[in-house]
């Protein structure tokens, strides 16, 4: 399994097990999909990137995952609250990813945008992890 997929599964498991997130977004609306319209509210697991960390064994990988937050609102208060809940969930305890040891996990960037339709807010949260492949 790729590092990005292992981290994605671990991150989704964390999100759907966190009450402060489920108060804002139902578990069935936390998903990986490429279709519009998105369910409201939602957390869409989006783009990912794996970067080799350059260790001699080539087992350390930095994974960046993008979470897209969507909510029907004219401001950005709701998506900002959801982003804060995600940050707290990520920092709560170490992620467990199949086949990888997660050495570090953090929210490295968050952006808030107003959708051009004037009815929806969009947040983009980048979760960055450093993982070490085990058992290879």
pLDDT in tens, 109-135: 999 998 888 899 999 999 999 999 997
pTM above threshold 0.85: yes
Q: Delineate the domains of the chain, giving CATH numbers in brackets.
A: 3-133 (3.30.2000.30)
Residue 14 neighbours by CB distance under 10 Å: 19
Please state, in angstroms and rounded to a whole number, the distance separating the CA atoms of residues 24 and 41. 7
pLDDT in tens, 62-112: 999 999 999 999 999 999 999 999 999 999 999 999 999 999 999 999 999
């Amino acid at each position: 399994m790729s590092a990005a997929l292992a981290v994605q599964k671990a991150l989704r498991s964390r999100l759907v097990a966190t009450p402060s997130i489920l108060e804002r977004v139902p578990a069935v609306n936390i998903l990986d999909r490429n279709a519009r319209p998105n369910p409201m509210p939602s957390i869409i697991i989006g783009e990912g990137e794996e970067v080799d960390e350059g260790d001699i064994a080539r087992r350390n990988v930095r994974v960046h995952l993008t979470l897209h937050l969507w909510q029907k609102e004219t401001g950005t208060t709701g998506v900002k609250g959801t982003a804060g809940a995600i940050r707290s969930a990520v920092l709560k305890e170490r992620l467990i990813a199949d086949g990888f040891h997660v050495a570090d996990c953090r929210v490295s960037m968050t952006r808030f945008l107003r959708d051009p339709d004037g009815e929806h807010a969009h947040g983009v949260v980048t979760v960055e992890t450093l993982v070490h492949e085990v058992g290879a």
